[in-house]
Amino acid sequence: MRHGWDVRGIVHVDAGADPAQALDETVWLQGLADQTGLPSAIVAFADLAGPKLDALLAAHAAHRNVRGIRHIVNWHPDPRRSYTSRDVTQDEAWQAGYARLAAHNLSFDLQAYPGQLPALARLIARYPDTPVMVNHAGMMVPGEETEWRAGMRALAAIPHVAIKLSGFGFTRRSFDADHARGIILSAIDWFRADRVMVASDFPTDKLFGTFDAQLSACAAVIADFTEDEQRAMFAGNANRLYRLGLSL
């Protein structure tokens, strides 16, 4: 139990380690899972445009708890917001790397800004065997709601894309339950209840609000949905999409 929440499984998403230590992180996490049963699944890091990508993907996938890859690709015209010097998702090498994920039975956790999403949606649609989990509700930037809505709709139209509800303070640098409510309801409207996962980004989200406050806000928003839909969004969808194999 965590703050009264019945946490039965954990999906660890890469913690931003030095790229040279990407496999070391997976080895360490798998060791923890073997000893304690957690994390239930691992989303590892790989630079999709990096050298010897296939070898790295195979090495990650050889660990039984690895389910997918995340390569943070947030690019924004405002250098104060951008994580990268250019939009690497437009590079042929990166797109070729993305195409290799399915060969290793790996999903992809997508963390990008709304302005990048329409082009990414076109790429993602070409590879239906690679499940995609949109991180942090699409990271809506204040003042760019139009771009966010366009990007979300483009991704939601692709059946193998799901969205995670987390990180509501990332672009605002605060947590506001009313603001989160609009994002949550829009995400559910577009993706439907079977492709939405209530998530946390702790410890990072701790900068913006408490674990209980953020999950309670999600619970309050979805309280009017059916019990089956609520269970799906809080647990069942993650269990299915990340292949956790938990008894819920």
Tens digit of pLDDT for each residue in 18-49? 999 999 999 999 999 999 999 999 999 999 99
Amino acid (one-letter) located at 234: F
Q: Residue 220 — pLDDT band, cuts 50, 70, 90?
A: very high
Amino acid (one-letter) located at 17: A
The confidence score (pLDDT) of residue 115 equals 96
Cβ atoms 97, 53 nearer than 8 A: yes
Cβ atoms 208, 173 nearer than 8 A: yes
Tens digit of pLDDT for each residue in 108-167? 999 999 999 999 999 999 999 999 999 999 999 988 999 999 999 999 999 999 999 998
The confidence score (pLDDT) of residue 2 equals 52
Q: Residue 3 — pLDDT band, cuts 50, 70, 90?
A: low
Residues 6 or more apart from 160 whose CB is under 8 A from it? 124, 128, 129, 130, 131, 132
Tens digit of pLDDT for each residue in 168-207? 877 777 777 888 899 999 999 999 999 999 998 888 888 8
The confidence score (pLDDT) of residue 79 equals 94
The confidence score (pLDDT) of residue 1 equals 45
Rounded Cα–Cα distance for residues 144 and 162 (Å): 21
